[in-house]
Amino acid sequence: MNIVDSSAWLEFFAGGPNAGRFSAPIAASASLLVPTLSIYEVFKRILQQRGDDDALQAVAIMEQGRVVDLDRSIALAAARISIDHDLPMADSVMLATAWRFQATFWTQDADFEGIDGVKYFPRQEGKSA
């Protein structure tokens, strides 16, 4: 199973330098989990930058994976992760969701570097999310 972080989704949709690193887990929709928080973050950013049509198209692609709602169990785990790894709320929710489903977490967010179960790729120079 895979979870693609919001920063990686945005990189993919923008065609940024790291987009290719995230295309395989995104294309493997049968093993792709998509936290609702990621849908929120990606929709909001694309809506701000490119408008409603592009934002809705992005969500439609994301929804090809299995959408995972934030529930009590994930929320409590995220709070612990936030404290243990000094992560912001959204980041800790994403990681808690990945850990709950024993999924690989794909990201270019440096906050996740060195954390178990994370495939981190540093942001590249050039057009980026």
For the chain, the structural domain boundaries read 2-69+102-120
Cβ atoms of residues 18 and 124 within 8 Å? yes
| Residue pLDDT, tens place only, 42-63 | 999 999 999 999 999 999 999 9
Q: What is the CATH number of domain 2-69+102-120?
A: 3.40.50.1010
CA-only gyration radius of the chain, Å: 14
- Taking only the tens place, the pLDDT of each residue in 73-119 is 999 999 999 999 999 999 999 999 999 999 999 999 999 999 999 99
Beginning with the edge strand found earlier in the chain, give each strand of the sheet holding 32-35 in spatial order. Answer: 66-68, 32-35, 2-4, 104-107, 118-120
pTM above threshold 0.75? yes
